[in-house]
Amino acid sequence: MQISGSTAFYAGLSTVQTGQNRVDQAAGEIANNTIERSATSQSSEIQADRLRAVDRSQQSDVAASMVEMAQGKIQLQLGVKVAKASDEMLGTLIDTFA
């Protein structure tokens, strides 16, 4: 009898990787927005008025990125739970004492 890899286990690992990528991408977007805002903060009054509208949209982008990062964290945690549950079930499905 040949036992192949558990598809649930690999699905959990894939979910972990996807969640980690999501967190990394959202964190990068937050860092980029922070750097852009600090670089543009050293401007004249006329430019400052125009940039205030841009700052509002960037704040919403940061908020969206924070939500995305939280979703990635939850996705990662759920992937770990799926992989762990699949690993534990393998030992209960096979009678190792027979």
Q: Where are the chain's structural domains?
A: 16-89
Residues 30 and 69: beta-carbon distance below 8 Å: yes
Q: Tell me which amino acid residue 37 is.
A: R
**What tens digit of pLDDT does each residue of 24-46 get?**
999 998 888 766 655 555 556 66
pTM here is 0.65
Rounded Cα distance between 74 and 18, Å, is: 11
**What tens digit of pLDDT does each residue of 64-88 get?**
899 999 999 999 999 999 988 888 7
